[in-house]
Amino acid sequence: MDFNEDFGDFNVLPEEIIIHIIKFLPNRWNLSLVNWNFYELICKVEANKYRLKLIDIDDDLEKYESVINTGRKFDEIKMMNLKSEDDHVTEKLRSILEKFQLGIKVISIYNSKLPESQFIELLGMHLNLKRLLLYDVSFSATERDNVELYLPNLRSLNIQLCNIIISRTILRIPNNTLYYLSIKNLVLDVQTLRKILENQRNIKELEFDPYFVDPASMSALEFNKLKLMSNRNVAPIIKNQYSLTSLDLSKAHITDTDFLQICKMNNLRVLKLWIDRISCDLIGNIEKLNKLQELAINYERLEVEYIAIISKLCLNSLQTLKIEFPKLKIFAENFIAISMNCPNVNKLIINGQSIGVIGTIIEYFKHLQSLIFECDSDSVKVVNFPVNNFVNENLKELYLYDNQFNNPAKEHFQSTSSLLSLINIAIPNLERLRIKNIISLDIEALNIIFENKPNLSHIHVDDIAINNTIDAHYVETLMQVAQSLDYIELNKVLLEVDEDLIAQIMDNKFTYVNCKKWRNEIILRNCRWNTHDENVF
């Protein structure tokens, strides 16, 4: 049935029958675009899945009326570009928020300017609100200093790039409600921050710049997760935080004193460090953290001794390891040593290293399930490396990428054949594959990957440098594998087939089809019907 022509006849059926039919349709997204009646029916089938976006609502009366009259239920609202100059805009916003007030659990506000009194009024009606994000929001002060922002169920507050008045707004939140607090790019005086922490004694997860805090004001708090974005006061802050399980110092230049204090935190499960200012002979103290499950290390200096020390760390409990040494080469023998000393690692993230070591990594990390590997600028020159006779049956996810966009040789990776052999032979149970700016995939190479990977469900190829034309044969191959895949994305390709024809062919195979010549991309999903901001990789 062509819904664009025949939806009138279809729409005379009883609503419950139409809803029953819709549940069996693969591409509900296209159907929802036919008219408002179908949109409302789709919303009933897909109720409570996607957030409401309010962007410049004063510019579009139809948009406003569609929101007010919809039968949908929302638990999340995203608002952008809200200005308070016009009273009619404020009234529209108030009426929308009143309509959904009891069901809303999450609110995000971006790039907006409001009087604080108006902000308090609009948010105060959402008594079930649990998470609030404010990004680049400016408030003008209210004359009423004793007004409370009554959000009794608010558990998470994230503030970024807001003006100083926001600190007063935080103080209006009922005491001891917040569990998570993140403050970024906001200058607070010591007294205000101390008062915030005194009011919110139940905070378990804190993310902020400790430069403006008196460590004594945090002594009554017991954190589970802590992220500090400068090196000031690190040791005094964490000294008595014995329940701390996650510590992120990836943006802080910590000292030896800070590091030795960290290594006394026996309950740490997650640790992220920038180790440039830590003495090399102290790094081994990380082994004292015998419950550590995730470790991320960033080092941007040129002392090669640090590689040897990292290679010798014995961490049997470690499951996730991220290594970022952009100015040093980590050789195959170092990765072999790491695999032996950290035998239970199942997720490995390597940034800025030679593509030539990837075969060694896949061979020796026996329990590896996920590998994310960023190539360095010299990887294009690596000649085909030997692929030994090995198989890693545990590896499920592989993401290879090169961010050297200005490198004119990026389309001439000399190790293309080795990488394809590695993918096709050494990783039989691969489920998710993403390749970005690395190797060229013509239709034959892509078809071989499909044939050798019965469990493959997600594939994302970005910037196919050679043989990047999507023709009828390519589309035919996609159709053959469509039913076994949940997600395909091909970027920077040339479409020789009409995009409407591709969409028509694929509609019966995928729940979401996005084919745009002007963006040189094809996206096919067998997931949820909408394109909600979802990172599938």
Q: What is the pLDDT of residues 234-251, one digit of tens each?
A: 999 998 899 999 999 999
pLDDT of residue 54: 74
Q: Domain 49-190 belongs to what architecture?
A: Alpha-Beta Horseshoe (3.80)
Q: Domain 222-342 belongs to what architecture?
A: Alpha-Beta Horseshoe (3.80)
CA distance 182 to 206: 6
pLDDT of residue 56: 62
- pLDDT (tens digit per residue) in 401-434: 887 654 444 455 677 788 888 899 899 999 999 9
Lowest mean per-residue pLDDT among 40-44, 107-111, 198-202, 385-389: 40-44
pLDDT of residue 382: 74
Q: In the chain, what percentage of residues exceed pLDDT 90?
A: 39
pLDDT, mean over the chain:
82
334 CB-side CA count, 13 A = 19
**What value does the mean pLDDT take over residues 76-98?**
81
pLDDT of residue 533: 40
- pLDDT (tens digit per residue) in 279-297: 999 999 999 999 999 999 9
Long-range interactions of 274-280: CB distance < 8 A, separation 24+: 274/249, 274/250, 274/298, 274/299, 274/300, 275/299, 275/306, 276/300, 276/301, 277/231, 277/253, 278/254, 280/305, 280/306, 280/309
Give the model's confidence band at 142: pLDDT under 50 very low, under 70 low, under 90 confident, else very high: low
Residues of the chain within CATH 3.80.10.10 domain(s) are 222-342
Of the candidates 409, 439, 436, 399, which has an alpha carbon nearest to the alpha carbon of residue 421?
A: 439
Most confident of 157-171, 181-195, 211-225, 349-363: 349-363
pLDDT of residue 141: 72
Instruction: Write down the residue that tokens 């209006």 correspond to.
Output: 172
Give the model's confidence band at 483: pLDDT under 50 very low, under 70 low, under 90 confident, else very high: low
CA distance 511 to 220: 51
Instruction: Write down the residue that tokens 């039989």 correspond to.
Output: 428
Say what the alpha-carbon torsion angle 171, 175, 180, 184 is, to the nearest 10 degrees: 10
Of the candidates 463, 465, 461, which has an alpha carbon nearest to the alpha carbon of residue 447?
A: 461
Between 51 and 358, residue with greater pLDDT? 358
pLDDT tops 60 at residue 230: yes
pLDDT of residue 440: 67
Give the model's confidence band at 182: pLDDT under 50 very low, under 70 low, under 90 confident, else very high: very high
**What value does the mean pLDDT take over residues 16-32?**
63
Q: How far is CA 89 from CA 139, 309, 500, in A?
A: 17, 61, 39
Lowest mean per-residue pLDDT among 39-48, 243-252, 333-342: 39-48
pLDDT tops 90 at residue 265: yes
Between 478 and 395, residue with greater pLDDT? 395
- pLDDT (tens digit per residue) in 496-516: 677 777 777 776 677 777 777
Q: How far is CA 64 from CA 40, 50, 70, 86, 98, in A?
A: 15, 17, 10, 15, 14
pLDDT of residue 438: 78
CA distance 149 to 165: 14
pLDDT of residue 266: 93
pLDDT of residue 31: 58
Give the model's confidence band at 64: pLDDT under 50 very low, under 70 low, under 90 confident, else very high: confident
CA distance 251 to 273: 8
